[in-house]
Amino acid sequence: MANLTIEIENLKCGGCENTIVKGLKAISGVQAVTVDHANRAVILDADSNLRQQIVDKLLSMGYPEKGSVAGLDKGIATAKSFVSCAIGRIS
C-alpha cells in the first residue's frame, strides 16, 4: 500500500469531493481517499500500480490530473466536472 498524491483540475466544492471519493473507492485496491481542497489534490492509500487506473477514473469524472489535458479535451473535462459536482451535491 502506498500513499499517492495526484494534483487535479476542476475541483470546486464538496459536491466534487463526494463524487471523487465515491468514484475512487469503487476501484479495488483503493483503501482511503482524501480530497485536499487547498492544494487541489487527491490523496489515496492504494497500490501504486493502480495510479494510471486512478488517473483515468478521475479524468472520466471530469477531474484530470493537473496539466494532462488541453484544448477541446480540457473543455470536455470541465463540462464533465460540472455534472459530477451536481451529482455529488445530491448524493
Domain boundaries, the chain: 2-90
pLDDT of 91 = 65
Specify the fold of 2-90: Alpha-Beta Plaits (3.30.70)
pLDDT digits (tens, 9 = 90+) for 23-65: 999 999 999 999 999 999 999 999 889 999 999 999 999 999 9
Which residues, at least 6 apart from 56, have a Cβ–Cβ distance to it below 8 Å? none
pLDDT of 78 = 83
Mean pLDDT of the chain: 90
pLDDT of 2 = 81
pTM of the model: 0.89
Residue in the block written with cell 472520466: 60
